[in-house]
Chains A and B, each alone.
Chain A
Amino acid sequence: MFNFKRPRHKLSKAIEGDLRLSDLKPGERGRIREIGGSDQFRQRLIEMGLTRDAEISVDKYAPLRDPLELIIRGYHLSLRGIDAQKISVERIN
């Protein structure tokens, strides 16, 4: 679908061992460090306001434990656990 060459950066991949958004418990807050995954996925999330250093909190999990409900920039957003795993965060206490 996208025929242009993908940029050669490697930074979009979150580093192994980082704390992930999916590791936060309901009610916990974090600051976004990096978003991994495909270019399109990253771009989508950045456009929705999930920029580096933005504050994000996990509000709750769905009744069947997936997806998650997040609060970012004052609005509520839902992501699947598998996607939340691609976002590395820093816990804010």
Chain B
Amino acid sequence: MSFNIAIAGNPNCGKTTIFNGLTGARQHVGNWPGVTVERKSGHFTYSDHRFEVIDLPGTYSLSAFSAEETISRQYLLDEGPDIVVNIIDASNLERNLFLTTQLIELGRPLVIVLNMMDMAVEKGLKIDMETLATLLGAPVVPVIGRTGEGLEVLREKILRVATSISLKSRPIDILYPRDLEAEIQKVNALVEQSSLTGRQVRWTSVKLLESDVETRNEVRAVDGGKEILDQANESISRIERLFKDTGRAVISHARYGFIQGAIRECVVENLSDALDHSRQIDRVLTNRWLGLPIFGLFMWLMFKITYDVGSIPMDWINSALLGLMNVISNVLPDSMIASLLVDGIMGGVGAIAVFLPNIFILFFIIAMLEDTGYMARVAFIMDRIMHNIGLHGKAFIPMIMGFGCNVPAIMGTRILESRRDRILTVLINPFMSCSARLPVYVLVAGAFFPENAATVIFSMYVLGVVAAIASGKLFSKTILRGMSKPFVLELPPYQRPTLRSLSLHTWERGYIFIQKMGTVILVGSIIIWVLGYFPKDVTLERDYATEQINISAQFGQELQELTLKFEKSIAKDSSVYRSEMQSYTASSGYRMLHNQYQELKTNLLASEQTQLYILKQQEIRDITEQKWIGKVGKIFEPIVRPLGFSWRESVALITGFVAKEIVVSTYGVLFGVGENVDEANHGVISGLRSSGMTPRVALSFLVFTLLYTPCLATVAAIKRETGTWAYTLFSIAYSLGLAYTLAFCVTFFGGMFNWLS
């Protein structure tokens, strides 16, 4: 037989560790429909029965305040899992049992797991399992998730509960104070008579008294719903009169009352020799003076490791890709397919693939920060600063990571719990100037501000941060207003992470990157390739083939003349040469002539190469101008004209949409100096200078480059993390708008004062 198991529990209770322990690698990570909350499912087989396990998001309650709570509730109510496994942090019983009181009311067969027993023992807690099981009406299994101790007993217990479902082991009711219970009973009686009987009657009654919106809507829709709601309203007012508080608050207090009673009966605290290790660690890590510097050091290390260590496998991937490209070019003749494969797909996808090592390393470090519990401290330390932009302290991590690459940074927003915070952080993240933008700054600033290049580049970074902060403030006061949640953050005890869970976390997130980015980037690269490849045949005004032959012929002739002249000089010189000691060819006169000849010949060949090269690049430029991409550039030229940009900037910016680095190589092509920019940088620089661009327009171009959508991969990440095209398109439109406005300001107001012209 096959059974469905749902794992429920508080955040930080070690739920995922137990889930991993039960299912091993047989798991699947996706998203819950419509939201970017991770949905983990897996399965295991135990004594011929198959158990499908779903890991519900960690929640403190089932009151439907957050996406996580709503998901968990809906799953538990609508899907009706055969067994609910409730994971509890044994060292933090009271608060963890609050969720349990709600799970009990759901009426599904329950197995309670006391996780982190080792920590509870260390803390000096003695828990009487049997009494607790009786009080909660469900079996209780002690487990140490980190070591896997007790998992076998848990499987056995799950099996026993699963196979004895028919015995109808009805869970107990949480007992509420008498006056409250009386009101519950009144509502209960009506609910039982209605068509809602199939559902959990007591759950429904209690939720009605908690003024739970979803339950009310559900009840309103059934026959006799109105009477039930009337009764519920009446009961709520009576409760409010009696207890001088809302129904919800009264019930929650009563739940804690029940929990305190249970704990009095089955827990012996012997805290005299208890040691709070986490508190000791926090004496240093969140220390008033040391907290910030230590955090800064960790951030620096994270950056350093991500980009430095990542650059090693990056080179391997790069050379592997180049090798593969060569093989393809050799195997396939000069054809459209080869061009599509090499220039289009491998060029585009490859540009993203080289970032894989960075991304995996970054995710590994983030997993480490999360699993140890330090991430909560980051939020604690940075909240004051991030609060200014209307964000949660944890949002600092993805912001900083944006300086490296916006794609993993945007994916890193998953560490934020509230959807509103996630969206806000995603929207402002692209303004953090990623490393791919640096080559553009270096090139343009180098060409136009050779004296102050560093200052110009640094001010781009500053402008990016300012744009992010200002936009964050703007968004949190406009489109994302009011959805903010109060900052209620648990600082969980520090844990030693297991390599297994770290690698699982890293792989899960990395895999999503490979999967999603792969598809979007693939499509995007193909589009850009099509624009650059078609129309296939272009008619050029100049006959480059003939010009090439002419150049070669001309240089060939010059070389011939030079050789002739050299031979003549030698003949003349040797005829007057008189020496018994050495032959003419060994004489200093000959050597001088010969060296002179060699030097002239080398120069001649070099300038032939240069002329041919320039010609070739001019051809590429002429061709590009006639390809669709050039036409697109011309179409957009009028739009960017007010910024002082020509069709070249237009093309560069369009190609930069795929990835910012491409701006540089596009310029290389457009100025006819070749794609290998490192060697031909001087060519681009002189090309830029002679293109009629003023330093003012160059600055405006840099501002535009900084602010508009960083790359296709970022767009894909935004789509993935916000879950909607609406925010994705908004992000593109907003950043384009901001880029245009600020670039225009630079060109226009700069022009008014005749600044940098």
Contact = CB atoms under 8 A, between A and B. Distances in A.
Given A9-B240, A42-B249, A75-B92, A61 B288 contact: yes
Nearest to A68: B380
A75 B490 contact: yes
A26 B213 CA distance: 39
Nearest to A83: B486
Nearest to B274: A74
B216 interface: yes
A69 interface: yes
Interface in A35-53: 37, 39-49, 51-52
Interface residues of A, number: 42
A73 interface: yes
B520 interface: no
B626 to A, nearest CB: 56
Given A69-B286, A80-B383, A47 B252 contact: yes
B70 to A, nearest CB: 12
A74 B92 contact: yes
Nearest to A26: B288
A9 B63 contact: no
A41 B387 CA distance: 17
A49 B63 CA distance: 15
Interface in B66-93: 91-92
A64 interface: yes
B380 A75 contact: no
Interface string A55-81: 000011111111101000111111110
Given A61-B288, A75-B490, A83-B487, A47 B98 contact: yes
Given A7-B211, A12-B246, A67 B236 contact: no
Contacts of B65: 40, 43-44
Nearest to B271: A74
B502 to A, nearest CB: 24
A3 interface: yes
Contact of B487 (A60, A65, A67): A67
B380 A49 contact: no
A76 to B, nearest CB: 4
A67 B216 contact: no
B253 interface: yes
Contacts of A62: 286, 291, 380-381, 383-384
Contacts of B380: 62, 67, 69, 78
Contacts of A40: 65
Given A49-B94, A75-B95, A77-B488, A64 B385 contact: yes
A60 B282 CA distance: 10
B95 A48 contact: yes
Interface string B248-266: 1100110010000000000
B277 interface: no
Given A4-B213, A7-B236, A66-B384, A41 B486 contact: yes
A11 interface: yes
A8 B289 CA distance: 46
B60 interface: yes
A87 to B, nearest CB: 12
A4 B245 contact: no
B244 interface: yes
B319 interface: no
Contacts of B488: 44-45, 48, 77-79, 83
A78 B95 contact: no
B479 interface: no
A89 B107 CA distance: 37
A64 B94 CA distance: 31
B263 to A, nearest CB: 10
Interface in B470-529: 486-492
A67 to B, nearest CB: 5
B490 A47 contact: no
Nearest to A42: B249
B236 A51 contact: no
Nearest to A75: B92
A49 B95 contact: yes
Contacts of A65: 384
Contacts of B358: none
B491 A9 contact: no
Contacts of A78: 376, 379-380, 383, 487-491
B491 A2 contact: no
A52 B249 CA distance: 10
Nearest to B252: A46
Given A41-B486, A62-B286, A46 B387 contact: no
Interface string B214-258: 001000000000000000000010001000111111001100100
Contacts of A79: 486-489
A3 B249 contact: no
A9 B289 contact: no
Interface of B: 60-61, 63, 65, 91-92, 94-95, 98, 211, 213, 216, 236, 240, 244-249, 252-253, 256, 278-279, 282, 286-289, 291-292, 376, 379-381, 383-385, 387, 393, 486-492
25 contacts: A4-B211, A40-B65, A42-B246, A43-B248, A44-B486, A46-B252, A47-B63, A48-B95, A48-B488, A51-B256, A60-B288, A61-B288, A62-B380, A62-B383, A63-B287, A63-B291, A67-B380, A69-B282, A74-B91, A77-B489, A79-B488, A80-B383, A80-B387, A80-B486, A83-B486
Given A49-B98, A80-B387, 20 more contacts: A4-B211, A4-B216, A7-B240, A8-B240, A9-B246, A12-B246, A45-B488, A48-B488, A63-B381, A64-B384, A67-B383, A67-B393, A69-B282, A69-B380, A69-B491, A75-B95, A76-B492, A78-B376, A79-B489, A80-B383
